[in-house]
Amino acid sequence: MATIFTRIIDGQIPGTFVWRDEVCVAFMSINPIAPGHTLVVPRLEVDHWIDLPEDVAQHLYRVSHLIGQAQQQAIPCERIGLIVAGFEVPHTHVHVIPTRSMADLSFANAATSVTREDLEASASAIRSCLRNANLAGVSD
pLDDT tens by residue, 39-88:
999 999 999 999 999 999 999 999 999 999 999 999 999 999 999 988 88
pTM: 0.95
Asked if residue 140 belongs to a domain, the reply is no
* pLDDT band, residue 1 (cuts 50/70/90): confident
Asked if residue 66 belongs to a domain, the reply is yes
Asked if residue 67 belongs to a domain, the reply is yes
Asked if residue 122 belongs to a domain, the reply is yes
Asked if residue 28 belongs to a domain, the reply is yes
Instruction: For residues 111 and 33, give the distance between their C-alpha atoms in angstroms, rounded to a whole number.
Output: 6
Asked if residue 139 belongs to a domain, the reply is no
pLDDT for 86: 84
DSSP string, 27-58: EE-SS-SSTT-EEEEESS--SSGGGS-HHHHH
62: domain CATH number is: 3.30.428.10
Domain carrying residue 75: 4-132
Asked if residue 138 belongs to a domain, the reply is no
Residue 109, C-beta contacts closer than 8 angstroms, at least 6 positions apart: 33, 34, 103
- How many domains does one find in the chain? 1
Asked if residue 117 belongs to a domain, the reply is yes
Neighbouring CB atoms inside 10 A of 94's CB total: 25
Cβ proximity of 123 and 17 under 8 Å: yes
Segment 3-29, tens digit of pLDDT? 999 999 999 999 999 999 999 999 999
Please determine, for residue 136, whether its predicted confidence score (pLDDT) is greater than 90: no
Give me the count of residues in the chain: 140
Three-state DSSP at 119 gives: helix
